Amino acid sequence: MRRKSNNSDLRSNLKRGFGYKRKRGVTVAWVLCAPALILLFIFLVVPFITAFFLSFTDQRLIPNLNMSTQFVGFRNFLRLFMDEYFHRALLNNFIFAIVVVPVQTAFALLLAVLVNQKLRFINLFRTIYFTPVVTTMVVVAIVWSFLYNPGEGFINQFIKTISGGLLGPYNWLHDTRLALTAIMILSIWQGVGFQMVIYLAGLQGIPAELYEAAEVDSANAWQKFWYITLPQLKNTTIFVVTSTTILAFKLFTQVWVMTQGGPQSATLTTIVLLYKEGFAQFRVGYASAIAALFFLIVLFVSMVQRIYLRGERR
| Pick from 111, 97, 87: nearest CA to 187 | 97
Residue ranges per structural domain of the chain: 1-54, 75-313
pLDDT of residue 95: 95
pLDDT of residue 111: 92
Tell me the one-letter amino acid at 65: L
Termini Cα distance of the chain: 55
pLDDT of residue 94: 93
| Pick from 145, 162, 164, 139: nearest CA to 259 | 145
Decide: residue 272, CB within 10 A, 0-12 exposed, 13-18 middle, 19+ buried: buried
Query: Measured between alpha carbons, how far is 108 from 255 in angstroms, rounded to an integer?
Result: 23
pLDDT of residue 185: 95
Query: Which regions in the chain score pLDDT beneath 50?
Result: 1-4
pLDDT of residue 88: 95
| Torsion on CA atoms 139, 144, 150, 156, rounded to nearest 10 | 150
Backbone angles phi, psi at 169, to 5 degrees: -80, 155
Pick the CATH number of 75-313 from 1.25.40.340, 2.40.50.140, 1.10.3720.10, 3.30.750.24: 1.10.3720.10
Q: Tell me the whole-structure pTM to 2 decimals.
A: 0.85
pLDDT of residue 287: 93
Backbone angles phi, psi at 25, to 5 degrees: -65, -40
